[in-house]
Amino acid sequence: MEICPKCGLPLQACVCEQIVKSSQKIKVSTDKKRYGKIVTVVTGFDTGIDIKKIAKALKEELACGGTYKNGVIELQGDHTKKIKEILVTLGFDKESID
């Protein structure tokens, strides 16, 4: 049985990521890239969160392409209206998402 080094609980019962998710201040905005393409940008992730897993879940739910680099998730298209509900289902606080 493996033990989490942060909280001391077994890895199956580890709550470190949920605690970190509740303390995030996430900002959702749009940006215009080359040739007038719109990109939704999600920023404000701290260390301790698996950004790769969150980006994959967002891309699957929104049926779009995207990438993550340097703590920033970029999704192809304008998804500002839908993304807040998806982030809440992933475990983030509704009040911490702008």
Residue by residue, pLDDT tens for the chain (98 residues) are 778 777 777 777 777 766 766 677 889 999 999 899 999 999 988 777 788 999 999 999 999 999 999 889 999 999 999 999 998 888 888 888 88
Domain boundaries, the chain: 25-89
Looking at residue 18, the DSSP 8-state letter turns out to be H
pLDDT of residue 17: 67
Q: Tell me how far CA of residue 20 lies from CA of 35, 64, 87, in angstroms.
A: 37, 26, 14
Q: Which CATH number fits domain 25-89: 1.10.1740.10, 3.50.50.60, 3.30.780.10, 3.40.50.2300?
A: 3.30.780.10
Whose structure tokens read 């839908």? Answer: 82
- Tell me the pTM: 0.78
pLDDT at 49: 79
Q: What is the pLDDT of residue 28?
A: 94
pLDDT recorded at residue 46: 78
Q: Dig out the tokens for 84 from the structure.
A: 């807040």
Alpha-carbon span 23 to 6, nearest angstrom:
16
